[in-house]
Amino acid sequence: MAEPTVTGAYAALVRSRVAAQASYRSSFAIDVAAQVLLAVVEFAEVYVVFHQVHSLGGFSFAEVTLMFALATTAFGLADGAVGHVDQLPHYVRTGQLDVFLLRPLSALGQLVSSDFALRRLGRVATSLVILVLALVAVDVDWSPERAALLLVTPLAGAVIFSSVFVAASAVAFWLVEGTEFANALTYGGSYLSSFPFTVFGSAIRRFFTFAVPAAFVAYLPALALLGRPDPLGMPGWLSWAGPVAACLSVAVSAVTWRTGLRRYVGAGS
């Protein structure tokens, strides 16, 4: 009999969480429906705004819808996969993190796999439907490069948001009550990435482009898909740099997590 691997152990944890959620079918269906409704309500906000204006930051309703769909798809994937790390402040405060550290597995891996939110698929599915409708409505000069960009962008965005989740939650190693700070970066970044960056002030734009790379989730890739130059004057190649931003985000979040974990001394110390 083959020895169990670390990957196999994590896969078993995820399967058990998924099976537990799916076993309560009525509850699971309600949770999925709630996520669908959440995505619809968020999109309704965009729809209501365009009942008052013809364009937003120089972009039409269809173009903003494209950005919204890219952003919410990426965030839904990240939230479902690693969103549970936002419970780290609670685990640090109550000492429950010590339980993870006593096991022969990565503390981060255990934290992530402790609640794989399958219900988030409702939000992701709704966002994908909106994305298809937006692509039908906008004028895209399709090429192999743009088709590849469309496929890669939600995945790169999910990696970016996942990294932000981990790095922002790791602040709890320094600030025990760091939940609101983490939420400002994760959910705040998700909200901002759903709209053209032309509507925000310069300080916010710079922070959510170079510190928290939310601009690479939807705004910049949408410019490349639409074949539009950036009204803010950023170079065109940045619109294709989402995967690079994702890799850098992973590196920063890994360093932040490891530094914070080394600083953690345990509840009994």
Q: pLDDT digit string (tens) for 66-99?
A: 999 999 999 999 988 888 888 888 888 888 888 8
Would you state the pLDDT for residue 263? 86
Q: What is the mean pLDDT of residues 215-232?
A: 96
What would the pLDDT profile of 147-201 be if each residue is shown by its tens digit? 999 999 999 999 999 999 999 999 888 886 777 888 889 999 999 999 999 999 9
Reported confidence tier of residue 146, pLDDT bands at 50, 70, 90: very high
Residue recorded with tokens 């010590």: 98
More confident residue, 224 or 264: 224
Reported confidence tier of residue 120, pLDDT bands at 50, 70, 90: confident
Are 217 and 70 contacting, i.e. CB atoms less than 8 angstroms apart?
yes
Sequence-distant (6+) residues with CB within 8 A of 168 are 86, 178, 181, 182, 183, 185, 186
CA-CA distance, 66 to 71, in Å (whole number)?
9
Reported confidence tier of residue 232, pLDDT bands at 50, 70, 90: very high
Domain ranges of the chain: 21-263
Burial status of residue 66 (CB atoms within 10 A of its CB: 0-12, 13-18, 19 or more)? buried
Would you state the pLDDT for residue 157? 97
Would you state the pLDDT for residue 21? 63
β partners of residue 56:
59
DSSP 138: S
Listing DSSP states for 110-125 in one string gives HHHHT---GGGHHHHH
Listing DSSP states for 51-104 in one string gives TT-S-BTTB-HHHHHHHHHHHHHHHHHHHHHHGGGGGHHHHHHHTTHHHHHHSS
- pTM of the predicted structure, to 2 decimals: 0.89
